[in-house]
Amino acid sequence: MSAPRAPRARPRLAVHKFASCDGCQLQLLNLEHELLGLADRFEIAHFPEASSRCLPGPVDLALVEGSIATARDAERIREVRAGARVLVSIGACATAGGIQALRNWADVEAWKAELLPHPEWLDALPTSTPIAAHVKVDHEIHGCPIDRGQLLRVLVRFLLDATPDLPGHAVCLECKRQGHVCVVVAKGLPCLGPVTRSGCGALCPGLGRDCYGCFGPADDPNPEALAERFDALGLQRADVVRRFRGVEGLASAFRRVGGEPGADDA
């Protein structure tokens, strides 16, 4: 009889926060039925939202939430990358700069002076940028917040040594699958579903509302054609631009309509 095999070491998981609202890492805690099973299969080395325990690195998998918005962020993300075998950025902040990237089209110093009694206390970079602009990112999970089912899928596939297989098709397809009435056709709403990556289950159109693109661009979108459709619905061009310049406004496909930072016309 062969000797029993030594139990396989659990991969070490770290969850890091940068400029963000914590909503995406909260989706990990929201995996209520799966959480204990995940804690059995991963060694949680660093997850300040859940525990004050912090083990020294390196780790096998780092989930990174938030954008790079300060000089210290820019240093810290390099440390996180150096200590992680696989790095997955989670959410619109980490994958596209988030809503705080609206500053990229504005004068941050003017905003600080207008809003804060002591603007000198805020160490903010003039831009908010995604994690991939600073270090190599292995995979991205999109959304604001991310979908916990997609997060679970990525974690399970990591345990299986498999590549994540998240969909890249548009929200429109989800609407058709679920039998939702199209809010562009039926209500004349400026829905970004035709160019937005699925993953939310067509949440907003399912409630009769227009998608505002929080999962970012779908694979091979045509934002210019959708912008023309919005023009035909009667939107002013400035409103069309603003439509594309939301939580995912810095995503390159949305910039084709929303404009490049520095060319402020919204």
Q: Could you tell me how many helices (H) and strands (E) the chain has, helices first?
A: 12, 5
Q: How far is the CB of 68 from ligand SF4 (least distance, A)?
A: 13
Pattern 158-177, ligand SF4, x by CB under 6 A: -------------x------
**Strands of 32-90, DSSP E:** 43-46, 59-65, 84-90
Q: Does 215 bind ligand SF4 (CB under 6 A)?
A: yes
Q: Which of 60, 65, 73, 140 binds ligand SF4 (CB under 6 A)?
A: 65
16 beta partners: 64
Angle at 26 between CA 24 and CA 30, to 5 degrees: 120
Spatial contact of 153 and 167, defined as CB atoms under 8 Å apart: no
Contact present, 205 and 173 (Cβ < 8 Å): no
Could you say whether residue 48 binds ligand SF4 (CB under 6 A)? no
Partners of 15 in beta bridges: 63
Task: Give the pairing type, strands 139-141 and 59-65.
Answer: unpaired
Residue nearest to ligand SF4 (CB): 23
Using CB under 6 A as the binding rule, whether residue 204 contacts ligand SF4 is answered as yes
Per CB under 6 A, 129 contacts ligand SF4: no
Question: Which segment (56-64, 127-135, 158-166, 212-220) binds ligand SF4 by CB under 6 A?
Answer: 212-220
138 or 210, CB closer to ligand SF4?
A: 210
Q: Is 23 in the site for ligand SF4 (CB under 6 A)?
A: yes
Main-chain phi, psi angles of 146, to 5 degrees? -65, 160
**Total of chain residues touching ligand SF4, rule CB under 6 A:** 23
**91 binds ligand SF4 per the rule CB under 6 A:** yes
Determine which helix (DSSP H) or strand (DSSP E) holds 140, and give its type and residue range: strand 139-141
Binding site for ligand SF4 (CB under 6 A): 20-21, 23-24, 65, 91-93, 98, 144-145, 171, 196, 200, 202-205, 211-215
